[in-house]
Structure 1
Amino acid sequence: MRVSVVITAYNSEAFVAEAISSVLEQTHPVDEIVVVDDGSTDHTRDIVESFSQRGVRYTYQENRGPGAARNCGIRETSGELLAFLDADDVWLKDKVESQCDFLAAHPEVALVSGFAWWWNVKEDRRFISGEVPKSMTSLRRDILVYNKIGNPSRVMLRRSVLADVGVFNEDIRWGQDWDLWIRIVTHYNATILPKPVIVYRWHEKNLSHTRRWERLYSYWNVSRHAIQANQSVSQQPVLMLRSWSLFAYRRANYMIREKGPRWRAIIYAAAAFFAYPMDMGRRKFKTLVHALVGDRFFESGRRFIRSRLRARGSA
Protein backbone atom coordinates (compact mmCIF):
# COMPACT_ATOMS: atom_id res chain seq x y z
CA MET A 1 0.00 0.00 0.00
CA ARG A 2 1.18 3.51 -0.84
CA VAL A 3 1.97 5.81 2.07
CA SER A 4 1.28 9.55 1.85
CA VAL A 5 2.69 11.94 4.43
CA VAL A 6 1.14 15.32 5.22
CA ILE A 7 3.39 17.73 7.11
CA THR A 8 1.74 20.87 8.45
CA ALA A 9 3.85 23.96 9.12
CA TYR A 10 3.32 27.46 10.46
CA ASN A 11 6.36 29.70 10.99
CA SER A 12 8.41 26.53 11.41
CA GLU A 13 11.79 27.58 10.00
CA ALA A 14 13.55 26.34 13.15
CA PHE A 15 12.14 22.82 12.94
CA VAL A 16 10.74 21.90 9.53
CA ALA A 17 14.01 20.65 8.00
CA GLU A 18 14.47 18.13 10.82
CA ALA A 19 10.85 17.01 10.48
CA ILE A 20 11.21 16.41 6.73
CA SER A 21 14.53 14.61 7.23
CA SER A 22 12.93 12.28 9.79
CA VAL A 23 10.45 11.20 7.09
CA LEU A 24 13.08 10.78 4.39
CA GLU A 25 15.23 8.65 6.71
CA GLN A 26 12.52 6.10 7.53
CA THR A 27 13.46 2.42 7.33
CA HIS A 28 10.31 1.97 5.21
CA PRO A 29 10.29 4.59 2.40
CA VAL A 30 7.12 6.63 1.91
CA ASP A 31 5.58 7.31 -1.49
CA GLU A 32 4.80 11.02 -1.28
CA ILE A 33 5.46 13.92 1.06
CA VAL A 34 3.45 17.14 0.98
CA VAL A 35 4.23 20.09 3.25
CA VAL A 36 1.24 22.39 3.74
CA ASP A 37 2.32 25.87 4.81
CA ASP A 38 -0.51 27.42 6.82
CA GLY A 39 0.33 31.06 6.11
CA SER A 40 3.91 31.27 7.41
CA THR A 41 5.65 34.66 7.40
CA ASP A 42 9.18 33.37 8.01
CA HIS A 43 11.52 31.30 5.79
CA THR A 44 9.53 28.06 5.99
CA ARG A 45 8.91 28.03 2.23
CA ASP A 46 12.60 28.40 1.30
CA ILE A 47 13.59 25.56 3.61
CA VAL A 48 10.88 23.20 2.35
CA GLU A 49 11.66 23.94 -1.31
CA SER A 50 15.31 23.03 -0.70
CA PHE A 51 14.01 19.43 -0.40
CA SER A 52 12.17 19.51 -3.74
CA GLN A 53 14.84 17.40 -5.47
CA ARG A 54 14.03 14.63 -2.99
CA GLY A 55 10.36 14.56 -3.93
CA VAL A 56 8.99 16.87 -1.24
CA ARG A 57 6.10 19.04 -2.49
CA TYR A 58 5.22 22.45 -1.07
CA THR A 59 1.68 23.84 -0.84
CA TYR A 60 0.73 27.23 0.59
CA GLN A 61 -2.60 28.36 2.01
CA GLU A 62 -3.73 31.44 3.89
CA ASN A 63 -3.74 30.83 7.62
CA ARG A 64 -6.81 28.73 8.44
CA GLY A 65 -5.56 26.50 11.24
CA PRO A 66 -4.06 23.00 11.49
CA GLY A 67 -7.28 21.16 10.65
CA ALA A 68 -7.67 23.00 7.35
CA ALA A 69 -3.98 22.45 6.58
CA ARG A 70 -4.28 18.70 7.11
CA ASN A 71 -7.42 18.57 4.97
CA CYS A 72 -5.53 20.37 2.22
CA GLY A 73 -2.79 17.75 2.46
CA ILE A 74 -5.35 14.95 2.29
CA ARG A 75 -6.72 16.42 -0.95
CA GLU A 76 -3.21 16.82 -2.39
CA THR A 77 -2.22 13.19 -1.79
CA SER A 78 -3.47 9.81 -2.99
CA GLY A 79 -1.88 7.02 -0.93
CA GLU A 80 -4.05 4.34 0.62
CA LEU A 81 -2.36 5.02 3.96
CA LEU A 82 -2.16 8.52 5.44
CA ALA A 83 0.31 9.71 8.04
CA PHE A 84 0.59 13.18 9.53
CA LEU A 85 3.48 15.13 11.02
CA ASP A 86 3.52 18.52 12.71
CA ALA A 87 6.59 20.46 11.62
CA ASP A 88 7.98 20.75 15.16
CA ASP A 89 7.78 16.99 15.80
CA VAL A 90 10.16 14.27 14.61
CA TRP A 91 9.43 10.69 13.60
CA LEU A 92 11.60 7.89 14.96
CA LYS A 93 13.23 5.90 12.16
CA ASP A 94 10.97 2.83 12.22
CA LYS A 95 7.66 4.64 12.67
CA VAL A 96 6.37 3.97 9.15
CA GLU A 97 7.69 0.40 9.06
CA SER A 98 6.07 -0.52 12.39
CA GLN A 99 2.70 0.95 11.52
CA CYS A 100 2.62 -0.30 7.92
CA ASP A 101 3.48 -3.81 9.05
CA PHE A 102 0.74 -3.73 11.67
CA LEU A 103 -1.94 -2.49 9.28
CA ALA A 104 -0.91 -5.07 6.67
CA ALA A 105 -1.23 -7.85 9.25
CA HIS A 106 -4.52 -6.52 10.68
CA PRO A 107 -6.87 -5.48 7.86
CA GLU A 108 -9.67 -5.01 10.39
CA VAL A 109 -7.80 -2.07 11.98
CA ALA A 110 -8.38 1.38 10.48
CA LEU A 111 -6.02 3.49 12.60
CA VAL A 112 -2.78 2.83 14.44
CA SER A 113 -0.98 5.16 16.83
CA GLY A 114 2.00 4.79 19.15
CA PHE A 115 3.74 6.25 22.18
CA ALA A 116 5.66 9.55 22.11
CA TRP A 117 8.87 10.83 23.60
CA TRP A 118 7.91 14.21 25.09
CA TRP A 119 10.80 16.66 25.17
CA ASN A 120 10.46 19.75 27.34
CA VAL A 121 12.95 21.93 25.47
CA LYS A 122 13.16 24.65 28.14
CA GLU A 123 13.91 22.23 30.98
CA ASP A 124 15.64 19.64 28.76
CA ARG A 125 13.42 16.96 30.28
CA ARG A 126 12.20 13.85 28.42
CA PHE A 127 9.58 11.24 29.23
CA ILE A 128 7.49 8.65 27.37
CA SER A 129 3.76 9.22 26.98
CA GLY A 130 1.29 6.58 25.87
CA GLU A 131 -1.06 3.86 27.04
CA VAL A 132 -2.22 0.68 25.35
CA PRO A 133 -6.03 0.29 25.60
CA LYS A 134 -7.30 -2.80 27.40
CA SER A 135 -9.91 -3.40 24.70
CA MET A 136 -11.80 -1.63 21.93
CA THR A 137 -14.68 -1.21 24.37
CA SER A 138 -12.48 0.66 26.84
CA LEU A 139 -10.89 2.72 24.05
CA ARG A 140 -14.31 3.75 22.72
CA ARG A 141 -15.31 4.83 26.22
CA ASP A 142 -12.07 6.50 27.32
CA ILE A 143 -11.49 8.47 24.12
CA LEU A 144 -14.66 10.42 24.89
CA VAL A 145 -12.92 11.77 27.99
CA TYR A 146 -9.35 12.33 26.79
CA ASN A 147 -7.37 11.99 23.58
CA LYS A 148 -5.96 8.52 24.11
CA ILE A 149 -4.85 8.21 20.46
CA GLY A 150 -2.54 11.22 20.74
CA ASN A 151 -1.56 14.02 18.39
CA PRO A 152 -1.62 13.50 14.59
CA SER A 153 2.14 12.94 14.34
CA ARG A 154 1.66 9.57 16.06
CA VAL A 155 -1.08 8.31 13.73
CA MET A 156 -1.34 6.33 10.50
CA LEU A 157 -4.79 5.58 9.08
CA ARG A 158 -6.52 4.12 6.07
CA ARG A 159 -7.73 6.83 3.69
CA SER A 160 -10.87 4.81 2.95
CA VAL A 161 -12.34 5.47 6.42
CA LEU A 162 -12.46 9.22 5.76
CA ALA A 163 -15.12 8.68 3.09
CA ASP A 164 -17.34 7.35 5.88
CA VAL A 165 -16.55 9.54 8.90
CA GLY A 166 -15.33 12.73 7.21
CA VAL A 167 -12.10 14.69 7.61
CA PHE A 168 -10.85 17.19 10.21
CA ASN A 169 -13.54 19.61 11.40
CA GLU A 170 -12.16 23.01 10.45
CA ASP A 171 -14.61 24.79 12.76
CA ILE A 172 -12.80 23.32 15.79
CA ARG A 173 -9.65 25.33 16.51
CA TRP A 174 -8.27 23.13 19.29
CA GLY A 175 -8.88 19.38 19.36
CA GLN A 176 -9.97 18.83 15.76
CA ASP A 177 -7.66 15.79 15.65
CA TRP A 178 -9.29 14.32 18.77
CA ASP A 179 -12.73 14.89 17.22
CA LEU A 180 -11.71 12.89 14.14
CA TRP A 181 -10.21 10.05 16.19
CA ILE A 182 -13.51 9.80 18.10
CA ARG A 183 -15.46 9.48 14.86
CA ILE A 184 -13.09 6.82 13.55
CA VAL A 185 -12.96 4.80 16.78
CA THR A 186 -16.75 4.90 17.06
CA HIS A 187 -17.12 3.00 13.77
CA TYR A 188 -13.79 1.19 13.27
CA ASN A 189 -11.09 -0.65 15.18
CA ALA A 190 -7.94 1.18 16.24
CA THR A 191 -4.86 0.33 18.27
CA ILE A 192 -1.85 1.92 19.95
CA LEU A 193 1.55 0.29 19.55
CA PRO A 194 3.42 -0.04 22.88
CA LYS A 195 6.51 1.81 21.61
CA PRO A 196 7.53 5.42 20.94
CA VAL A 197 7.12 6.48 17.32
CA ILE A 198 7.78 10.23 17.55
CA VAL A 199 9.60 12.92 19.50
CA TYR A 200 7.17 15.64 20.55
CA ARG A 201 8.79 18.99 21.30
CA TRP A 202 7.26 21.05 24.09
CA HIS A 203 8.51 24.60 23.55
CA GLU A 204 7.34 28.17 24.08
CA LYS A 205 6.25 28.71 20.46
CA ASN A 206 4.42 25.38 20.20
CA LEU A 207 0.93 26.07 18.84
CA SER A 208 -0.65 23.63 21.28
CA HIS A 209 0.65 25.55 24.31
CA THR A 210 -0.37 29.09 23.37
CA ARG A 211 -3.80 30.60 24.18
CA ARG A 212 -4.09 27.95 26.85
CA TRP A 213 -7.50 28.83 28.25
CA GLU A 214 -9.13 28.75 24.81
CA ARG A 215 -7.46 25.41 24.19
CA LEU A 216 -8.73 23.94 27.46
CA TYR A 217 -12.32 25.02 26.86
CA SER A 218 -12.20 23.76 23.28
CA TYR A 219 -10.98 20.34 24.45
CA TRP A 220 -13.71 20.20 27.07
CA ASN A 221 -16.32 21.05 24.44
CA VAL A 222 -15.05 18.27 22.14
CA SER A 223 -15.41 15.82 25.01
CA ARG A 224 -18.86 17.00 26.13
CA HIS A 225 -20.31 16.94 22.63
CA ALA A 226 -18.85 13.48 21.95
CA ILE A 227 -20.29 12.08 25.17
CA GLN A 228 -23.73 13.48 24.36
CA ALA A 229 -23.60 12.14 20.80
CA ASN A 230 -22.25 8.66 21.51
CA GLN A 231 -23.48 7.53 24.93
CA SER A 232 -26.86 6.63 26.38
CA VAL A 233 -28.41 9.02 28.88
CA SER A 234 -27.65 6.60 31.73
CA GLN A 235 -23.91 6.54 30.88
CA GLN A 236 -23.47 10.27 30.37
CA PRO A 237 -23.27 11.54 34.00
CA VAL A 238 -20.17 9.50 34.94
CA LEU A 239 -18.38 10.33 31.70
CA MET A 240 -19.25 14.02 32.07
CA LEU A 241 -17.83 13.93 35.61
CA ARG A 242 -14.62 12.32 34.35
CA SER A 243 -14.37 14.93 31.61
CA TRP A 244 -14.90 17.86 33.96
CA SER A 245 -12.43 16.41 36.47
CA LEU A 246 -9.76 16.26 33.77
CA PHE A 247 -10.57 19.83 32.70
CA ALA A 248 -10.18 21.03 36.31
CA TYR A 249 -6.90 19.10 36.69
CA ARG A 250 -5.44 20.71 33.58
CA ARG A 251 -6.60 24.15 34.64
CA ALA A 252 -5.01 23.72 38.06
CA ASN A 253 -1.71 22.75 36.44
CA TYR A 254 -1.80 25.78 34.17
CA MET A 255 -2.55 28.01 37.16
CA ILE A 256 0.49 26.61 38.95
CA ARG A 257 2.75 26.87 35.90
CA GLU A 258 1.69 30.43 35.07
CA LYS A 259 1.88 31.60 38.71
CA GLY A 260 -1.82 32.39 38.75
CA PRO A 261 -3.88 32.99 41.91
CA ARG A 262 -2.97 30.19 44.29
CA TRP A 263 -6.47 29.92 45.74
CA ARG A 264 -7.85 29.19 42.29
CA ALA A 265 -5.25 26.49 41.70
CA ILE A 266 -6.24 24.91 45.03
CA ILE A 267 -9.95 24.97 44.15
CA TYR A 268 -9.44 23.41 40.73
CA ALA A 269 -6.95 20.82 42.02
CA ALA A 270 -9.25 19.80 44.88
CA ALA A 271 -12.26 19.64 42.56
CA ALA A 272 -10.34 17.49 40.07
CA PHE A 273 -9.17 15.01 42.70
CA PHE A 274 -12.39 14.64 44.69
CA ALA A 275 -14.70 14.67 41.65
CA TYR A 276 -13.10 11.59 40.08
CA PRO A 277 -9.92 10.23 41.73
CA MET A 278 -10.08 6.97 39.72
CA ASP A 279 -8.59 8.68 36.64
CA MET A 280 -4.94 9.70 37.13
CA GLY A 281 -5.48 9.79 40.89
CA ARG A 282 -1.79 10.06 41.80
CA ARG A 283 -1.22 12.92 39.37
CA LYS A 284 -4.28 14.78 40.60
CA PHE A 285 -3.21 14.32 44.23
CA LYS A 286 0.30 15.55 43.44
CA THR A 287 -1.15 18.65 41.77
CA LEU A 288 -3.35 19.27 44.82
CA VAL A 289 -0.34 19.03 47.16
CA HIS A 290 1.63 21.36 44.87
CA ALA A 291 -1.17 23.92 44.93
CA LEU A 292 -1.53 23.71 48.72
CA VAL A 293 2.14 24.03 49.70
CA GLY A 294 3.41 26.22 46.84
CA ASP A 295 6.39 25.88 44.51
CA ARG A 296 9.14 26.29 47.09
CA PHE A 297 8.01 23.62 49.55
CA PHE A 298 6.83 21.29 46.80
CA GLU A 299 10.21 21.32 45.04
CA SER A 300 12.06 20.94 48.35
CA GLY A 301 9.90 17.95 49.18
CA ARG A 302 10.52 16.36 45.80
CA ARG A 303 14.29 16.79 46.15
CA PHE A 304 14.19 15.29 49.65
CA ILE A 305 12.19 12.25 48.51
CA ARG A 306 14.49 11.69 45.53
CA SER A 307 17.59 11.89 47.72
CA ARG A 308 16.10 9.38 50.16
CA LEU A 309 15.22 7.00 47.34
CA ARG A 310 18.73 7.26 45.88
CA ALA A 311 20.24 6.64 49.31
CA ARG A 312 18.02 3.61 49.83
CA GLY A 313 18.95 2.27 46.38
CA SER A 314 22.68 2.54 47.06
CA ALA A 315 22.42 1.00 50.52
Structure 2
Amino acid sequence: MDMVSVIIPSYNRDIFVARAIYSVLLQDFEPLEIIVVDDGSTDYSHHVYKMFEGSIKVFYHEINQGASAARNTGIKNSKGEYIGFLDCDDYWLPNKLSLQMEYMLKHNSFVSQTQEYWIRHGKFVNPNKKNKKMGGNIFEISLKRSYISPSCVVIKRDVLEKIGYFRTDLKVAEDYELWLRLTSCYPIELIDRPLVVREMSHRMHLSSPQEGIEFWRIMGLVLFLRDSHLPQSLHTKALRELAFKCRVYGLGAGKRGKGITARLFLAMAERIKGHLGEDI
Protein backbone atom coordinates (compact mmCIF):
# COMPACT_ATOMS: atom_id res chain seq x y z
CA MET A 1 0.00 0.00 0.00
CA ASP A 2 1.64 3.19 -1.19
CA MET A 3 0.46 5.76 1.31
CA VAL A 4 3.32 6.98 3.51
CA SER A 5 5.72 9.80 2.68
CA VAL A 6 8.84 9.71 4.84
CA ILE A 7 10.54 13.06 5.39
CA ILE A 8 14.18 13.27 6.52
CA PRO A 9 15.52 16.76 7.26
CA SER A 10 19.32 16.88 7.29
CA TYR A 11 22.02 19.44 7.98
CA ASN A 12 25.73 18.54 7.87
CA ARG A 13 25.13 14.94 8.94
CA ASP A 14 26.71 13.07 6.05
CA ILE A 15 27.84 10.21 8.32
CA PHE A 16 24.42 9.64 9.83
CA VAL A 17 21.96 10.45 7.05
CA ALA A 18 22.98 7.37 5.03
CA ARG A 19 22.04 5.16 7.98
CA ALA A 20 18.69 6.92 8.31
CA ILE A 21 17.92 6.44 4.60
CA TYR A 22 18.95 2.78 4.67
CA SER A 23 16.66 2.16 7.63
CA VAL A 24 13.68 3.39 5.61
CA LEU A 25 14.65 1.39 2.52
CA LEU A 26 14.82 -1.73 4.71
CA GLN A 27 11.28 -1.33 6.04
CA ASP A 28 9.00 -4.33 5.48
CA PHE A 29 6.25 -1.79 4.70
CA GLU A 30 7.39 0.09 1.62
CA PRO A 31 6.69 3.82 1.77
CA LEU A 32 5.37 5.77 -1.17
CA GLU A 33 8.43 8.02 -1.18
CA ILE A 34 11.47 9.03 0.83
CA ILE A 35 12.05 12.77 0.82
CA VAL A 36 15.35 14.19 2.08
CA VAL A 37 15.46 17.93 2.66
CA ASP A 38 19.04 19.16 2.81
CA ASP A 39 19.02 22.28 4.94
CA GLY A 40 22.06 24.03 3.46
CA SER A 41 24.70 21.39 4.26
CA THR A 42 28.35 22.25 3.62
CA ASP A 43 29.79 18.76 4.19
CA TYR A 44 29.73 15.73 1.85
CA SER A 45 26.00 15.06 2.20
CA HIS A 46 25.35 15.56 -1.53
CA HIS A 47 27.70 12.64 -2.28
CA VAL A 48 25.67 10.48 0.11
CA TYR A 49 22.45 11.36 -1.69
CA LYS A 50 23.95 10.24 -4.99
CA MET A 51 24.39 6.75 -3.51
CA PHE A 52 20.60 6.53 -3.24
CA GLU A 53 19.75 8.10 -6.59
CA GLY A 54 16.46 6.69 -7.84
CA SER A 55 15.36 5.67 -4.34
CA ILE A 56 15.00 9.08 -2.73
CA LYS A 57 13.88 12.58 -3.64
CA VAL A 58 16.17 15.39 -2.49
CA PHE A 59 15.20 19.02 -2.02
CA TYR A 60 17.84 21.60 -1.19
CA HIS A 61 17.77 24.77 0.87
CA GLU A 62 20.50 27.11 -0.33
CA ILE A 63 21.04 28.37 3.22
CA ASN A 64 20.34 26.78 6.59
CA GLN A 65 16.78 27.59 7.64
CA GLY A 66 16.26 25.20 10.53
CA ALA A 67 14.51 21.93 11.21
CA SER A 68 11.00 23.35 10.98
CA ALA A 69 11.54 24.86 7.54
CA ALA A 70 13.14 21.63 6.32
CA ARG A 71 10.23 19.50 7.53
CA ASN A 72 7.74 21.95 6.03
CA THR A 73 9.50 21.77 2.66
CA GLY A 74 9.20 18.01 2.82
CA ILE A 75 5.51 18.13 3.68
CA LYS A 76 4.75 20.58 0.85
CA ASN A 77 6.50 18.35 -1.69
CA SER A 78 5.06 15.05 -0.47
CA LYS A 79 2.14 13.06 -1.85
CA GLY A 80 1.33 10.48 0.82
CA GLU A 81 -1.89 10.25 2.77
CA TYR A 82 0.29 9.74 5.85
CA ILE A 83 3.50 11.54 6.82
CA GLY A 84 6.35 9.98 8.77
CA PHE A 85 9.29 12.02 10.04
CA LEU A 86 12.80 10.74 10.64
CA ASP A 87 15.56 12.96 12.00
CA CYS A 88 18.84 12.33 10.22
CA ASP A 89 20.61 11.28 13.45
CA ASP A 90 18.04 8.54 14.07
CA TYR A 91 17.04 5.31 12.37
CA TRP A 92 14.09 2.94 12.31
CA LEU A 93 13.93 -0.76 13.06
CA PRO A 94 12.72 -2.74 9.99
CA ASN A 95 9.17 -3.31 11.26
CA LYS A 96 8.51 0.23 12.44
CA LEU A 97 6.25 1.33 9.60
CA SER A 98 4.45 -1.99 9.20
CA LEU A 99 3.44 -2.21 12.88
CA GLN A 100 2.50 1.44 13.02
CA MET A 101 0.46 1.45 9.82
CA GLU A 102 -1.24 -1.85 10.65
CA TYR A 103 -2.42 -0.32 13.91
CA MET A 104 -3.45 3.00 12.38
CA LEU A 105 -5.41 1.43 9.54
CA LYS A 106 -7.14 -1.02 11.86
CA HIS A 107 -8.18 1.68 14.32
CA ASN A 108 -8.62 4.54 11.82
CA SER A 109 -6.07 6.57 13.78
CA PHE A 110 -5.13 10.14 13.00
CA VAL A 111 -1.68 10.08 14.61
CA SER A 112 0.48 7.54 16.36
CA GLN A 113 3.94 7.20 17.82
CA THR A 114 6.22 4.42 19.05
CA GLN A 115 8.70 4.05 21.87
CA GLU A 116 12.42 4.42 21.18
CA TYR A 117 15.85 3.09 22.09
CA TRP A 118 18.75 5.39 22.84
CA ILE A 119 22.40 4.86 21.98
CA ARG A 120 24.98 6.52 24.19
CA HIS A 121 28.67 6.01 23.50
CA GLY A 122 27.95 2.93 21.41
CA LYS A 123 25.64 1.24 23.95
CA PHE A 124 21.88 0.77 23.90
CA VAL A 125 20.16 2.35 26.88
CA ASN A 126 16.49 2.63 27.73
CA PRO A 127 15.14 6.16 28.12
CA ASN A 128 14.34 7.07 31.70
CA LYS A 129 10.74 7.30 32.81
CA LYS A 130 10.32 11.01 32.04
CA ASN A 131 11.44 10.42 28.45
CA LYS A 132 9.06 7.54 27.73
CA LYS A 133 6.59 8.31 24.99
CA MET A 134 2.97 8.77 25.96
CA GLY A 135 -0.38 7.96 24.43
CA GLY A 136 -3.97 9.09 24.87
CA ASN A 137 -5.12 12.61 25.63
CA ILE A 138 -1.77 14.05 26.62
CA PHE A 139 -2.26 17.78 26.11
CA GLU A 140 -2.01 18.70 29.80
CA ILE A 141 1.24 16.84 30.43
CA SER A 142 2.61 18.10 27.11
CA LEU A 143 2.44 21.64 28.50
CA LYS A 144 5.43 20.76 30.70
CA ARG A 145 7.59 19.33 27.95
CA SER A 146 7.28 17.34 24.75
CA TYR A 147 6.34 13.69 25.08
CA ILE A 148 6.48 13.17 21.32
CA SER A 149 9.56 12.66 19.15
CA PRO A 150 9.35 13.49 15.44
CA SER A 151 11.09 10.23 14.46
CA CYS A 152 8.44 8.20 16.30
CA VAL A 153 5.42 9.85 14.68
CA VAL A 154 3.21 8.97 11.74
CA ILE A 155 0.41 11.46 11.13
CA LYS A 156 -2.37 11.79 8.58
CA ARG A 157 -1.78 14.55 6.08
CA ASP A 158 -5.21 16.11 6.61
CA VAL A 159 -4.44 16.47 10.32
CA LEU A 160 -1.35 18.52 9.50
CA GLU A 161 -3.35 20.58 7.05
CA LYS A 162 -5.89 21.29 9.78
CA ILE A 163 -3.54 22.17 12.66
CA GLY A 164 -0.82 23.76 10.52
CA TYR A 165 2.83 22.98 9.87
CA PHE A 166 5.91 23.54 12.03
CA ARG A 167 6.61 27.12 13.11
CA THR A 168 9.79 28.55 11.65
CA ASP A 169 10.25 31.35 14.19
CA LEU A 170 11.36 29.15 17.10
CA LYS A 171 15.08 28.38 17.15
CA VAL A 172 14.95 25.53 19.68
CA ALA A 173 12.20 23.14 20.82
CA GLU A 174 10.53 23.97 17.52
CA ASP A 175 8.29 20.92 17.67
CA TYR A 176 6.96 21.64 21.20
CA GLU A 177 4.43 24.18 19.95
CA LEU A 178 3.22 21.96 17.11
CA TRP A 179 2.68 19.04 19.49
CA LEU A 180 0.57 21.34 21.68
CA ARG A 181 -1.61 22.16 18.68
CA LEU A 182 -1.83 18.46 17.88
CA THR A 183 -2.57 17.13 21.37
CA SER A 184 -5.15 19.85 22.02
CA CYS A 185 -7.21 18.40 19.16
CA TYR A 186 -6.32 14.70 18.86
CA PRO A 187 -5.45 11.74 21.08
CA ILE A 188 -2.09 10.12 20.40
CA GLU A 189 -2.14 6.40 19.67
CA LEU A 190 0.87 4.68 21.23
CA ILE A 191 2.50 1.56 19.80
CA ASP A 192 4.24 0.65 23.04
CA ARG A 193 7.33 -0.89 21.48
CA PRO A 194 10.75 0.68 20.84
CA LEU A 195 10.94 0.87 17.05
CA VAL A 196 13.16 3.95 16.69
CA VAL A 197 16.83 4.26 17.63
CA ARG A 198 18.11 7.69 18.62
CA GLU A 199 21.82 8.43 18.62
CA MET A 200 22.17 10.54 21.76
CA SER A 201 25.97 10.84 21.77
CA HIS A 202 25.95 13.07 18.72
CA ARG A 203 22.63 14.85 19.08
CA MET A 204 22.64 18.13 17.28
CA HIS A 205 19.72 20.38 16.51
CA LEU A 206 19.07 20.92 12.86
CA SER A 207 18.41 24.53 13.75
CA SER A 208 20.49 26.91 15.85
CA PRO A 209 22.31 25.58 18.94
CA GLN A 210 20.22 25.47 22.11
CA GLU A 211 20.01 28.86 23.80
CA GLY A 212 18.04 27.80 26.83
CA ILE A 213 15.38 25.27 25.88
CA GLU A 214 12.96 26.53 28.53
CA PHE A 215 13.09 30.05 27.07
CA TRP A 216 11.98 28.68 23.71
CA ARG A 217 9.26 26.56 25.32
CA ILE A 218 7.95 29.75 26.92
CA MET A 219 7.97 31.47 23.54
CA GLY A 220 6.24 28.48 21.96
CA LEU A 221 3.58 28.41 24.66
CA VAL A 222 2.96 32.16 24.28
CA LEU A 223 2.48 31.74 20.52
CA PHE A 224 0.25 28.71 21.03
CA LEU A 225 -1.99 30.56 23.50
CA ARG A 226 -2.17 33.56 21.20
CA ASP A 227 -3.36 31.52 18.24
CA SER A 228 -5.37 28.70 19.83
CA HIS A 229 -9.05 28.47 20.73
CA LEU A 230 -8.97 26.20 23.77
CA PRO A 231 -11.87 25.40 26.08
CA GLN A 232 -11.67 27.69 29.11
CA SER A 233 -10.52 24.93 31.47
CA LEU A 234 -7.57 23.99 29.25
CA HIS A 235 -6.76 27.63 28.56
CA THR A 236 -6.50 28.25 32.30
CA LYS A 237 -4.21 25.26 32.77
CA ALA A 238 -2.00 26.44 29.93
CA LEU A 239 -1.79 29.92 31.49
CA ARG A 240 -0.85 28.40 34.85
CA GLU A 241 1.94 26.46 33.18
CA LEU A 242 3.13 29.60 31.41
CA ALA A 243 3.22 31.48 34.73
CA PHE A 244 5.17 28.62 36.31
CA LYS A 245 7.68 28.50 33.46
CA CYS A 246 8.16 32.28 33.56
CA ARG A 247 8.73 32.24 37.32
CA VAL A 248 11.25 29.39 37.15
CA TYR A 249 13.07 31.02 34.25
CA GLY A 250 13.09 34.38 36.00
CA LEU A 251 14.49 32.94 39.22
CA GLY A 252 17.17 31.12 37.24
CA ALA A 253 18.09 34.29 35.37
CA GLY A 254 18.46 36.10 38.68
CA LYS A 255 20.87 33.45 39.95
CA ARG A 256 22.91 33.87 36.77
CA GLY A 257 23.18 37.60 37.36
CA LYS A 258 20.80 38.58 34.56
CA GLY A 259 18.75 41.08 36.54
CA ILE A 260 16.76 42.65 33.71
CA THR A 261 15.73 39.26 32.31
CA ALA A 262 14.84 38.05 35.80
CA ARG A 263 12.60 41.03 36.51
CA LEU A 264 10.91 40.74 33.11
CA PHE A 265 9.98 37.07 33.48
CA LEU A 266 8.99 37.35 37.15
CA ALA A 267 6.74 40.27 36.23
CA MET A 268 5.19 38.18 33.46
CA ALA A 269 4.49 35.37 35.93
CA GLU A 270 2.91 37.80 38.40
CA ARG A 271 0.78 39.36 35.69
CA ILE A 272 -0.54 36.02 34.47
CA LYS A 273 -1.36 34.91 38.00
CA GLY A 274 -3.12 38.22 38.61
CA HIS A 275 -5.17 37.67 35.45
CA LEU A 276 -6.17 34.26 36.80
CA GLY A 277 -6.98 35.73 40.22
CA GLU A 278 -4.39 33.54 41.88
CA ASP A 279 -1.41 34.22 44.12
CA ILE A 280 2.07 33.89 42.63
TM-score, reference length from structure 2? 0.78
Question: Is residue 194 from structure 1 mapped to residue 192 from structure 2 by the alignment?
Answer: yes
Where structure 2 has 5 or more consecutive residues not aligned to the other structure, the ranges are 257-280
2:6 counterpart of 1:8? no
Identify the match of residue 185 of structure 1 among 170, 183, 186. 183
Q: Distance in 2 between the 1:49 and 1:76 partners?
A: 20
2-structure distance, mates of 1:98, 1:247: 41
- Report the residue type matching 2:102 in the other structure: D
| Cα separation, 2, equivalents of 1:245 and 1:200 | 32
Counterpart amino acid of 2:57?
R
Shift of the 211–176 alpha-carbon distance from structure 1 to 2, 3 Å rule, reads closer
Amino acid at match of 1:34: I
Pairs aligned (count): 248
Check the 8 A contact 2:6/2:83 in 1, yes or no.
yes
| Matched-pair contact (CA < 8 Å) for 2:172–2:208 | no
2:58 aligned counterpart, secondary structure: strand
Question: Which residue number corresponds to residue 23 of structure 2?
Answer: 22
Query: What corresponds to 1:48 in structure 2?
Result: 49
Between the two structures, name the one with larger relative contact order (CA 8 Å, sep ≥ 6): 2
Q: Give me the CA root mean square deviation.
A: 3.0
Instruction: Tell me the alpha carbon deviations over residues 91-133 of structure 1, each in whole angstroms, 9 at most, x when there is no partner.
Output: 11111011111110122x3111111112223x74622342434
Deviation at 1:189, TM superposition (A): 2.7
Paired residue type of 1:93: P
Going from structure 1 to structure 2, the CA distance change for 1:205 and 1:189 (only over 3 Å counts) comes to closer
Tell me which residue corresponds to 2:172. Answer: 174
- How far apart in 1 are the matches of 2:239 and 2:177? 20
Confirm or deny that 1:142 pairs with 2:144.
Answer: no
Q: Distance in 2 between matches of 1:208 and 1:4?
A: 20
Q: Displacement of 1:160 after TM fit?
A: 0.8
**SS at structure 1 position matched to 2:97:** helix
Give the Cα–Cα distance (whole angstroms) in 2 for the partners of residues 227 and 200 of structure 1: 31
- Alignment match, 2:277: none
Alpha-carbon distance between aligned partners in 2 of 1:99 and 1:246, rounded to the nearest angstrom:
38
Code of the residue aligned with 2:72 in structure 1: it is N
Deviation at residue 212 of structure 1 after TM alignment: 3.1
Which residue identity does 2:220 align to in structure 1?
V
**Post-superposition offset of 1:241:** 5.9
| Structure 1 residue 221, shift from structure 2 partner | 2.3
More helix by share: 1
Runs of 5+ unmatched residues, structure 1: 252-260, 262-315
Cα distance change on mapping 1:245 and 1:19 into 2, 3 Å: farther
Cα distance in 1 for partners of 2:38, 2:207 equals 20
Q: How far apart in 2 are the matches of 1:226 and 1:178? A: 10
CA distance in 1, matches of 2:249, 2:148: 18
